[in-house]
Amino acid sequence: AQTVTQSQPEMSVQEAETVTLSCTYDTSESDYYLFWYKQPPSRQMILVIRQEAYKQQNATENRFSVNFQKAAKSFSLKISDSQLGDAAMYFCAYRSPYSGAGSYQLTFGKGTKLSVIP
């Protein structure tokens, strides 16, 4: 079974600065998907960024980028120019490649609570 580990329960960053959230995972599969989700106080999960394991290029979405190290099974999230609205719980998630109904289920890490200091 796959596992996802987020070793930082809480992080803080000064507004406009850069912060990196760590995530490692364990899998025996060669092809898979990785995600970072944001859960603000409103509690609705929002997709921040996704990475396909077969792609060597790191995914980027505006101020959000990842450092995907497949051999090390590491998938960190970098938030640049942090904003107050970035404050939330961030969950790293793993998904196996699709192989039938139900195969889109995600395995989540325990989350990192990010605080942004004005």
Partner 1 sequence: GAVVSQHPSRVICKSGTSVKIECRSLDFQATTMFWYRQFPKQSLMLMATSNEGSKATYEQGVEKDKFLINHASLTLSTLTVTSAHPEDSSFYICSARAPTTGELFFGEGSRLTVL
Contacting residue, 2, 74, 76, 108, with partner 1 by CB under 8 A: 108
Contacting residue, 47, 54, 55, 83, with partner 1 by CB under 8 A: 47
Contacting residue, 28, 30, 43, 57, with partner 1 by CB under 8 A: 43
Q: Is 35 exposed, middle or buried (0-12, 13-18, 19+ CB in 10 A)?
A: buried
Contact 91, 77 (CB under 8 A): no
42 sits near partner 1 (criterion: CB under 8 A): yes
Torsion sign (Cα): 88, 118, 14, 9: negative
98 sits near partner 1 (criterion: CB under 8 A): yes
Closest separation in Å from C-beta 21 to partner 1: 14
99 sits near partner 1 (criterion: CB under 8 A): no
Which tokens is 1 given? Answer: 């079974």
Q: How far apart are CA 83 and CA 93, in angstroms?
A: 23
110 sits near partner 1 (criterion: CB under 8 A): yes
Which tokens is 16 given? Answer: 């406009």
Binding site for partner 1 (CB under 8 A): 37, 42-47, 50, 91, 98, 101-102, 104-111
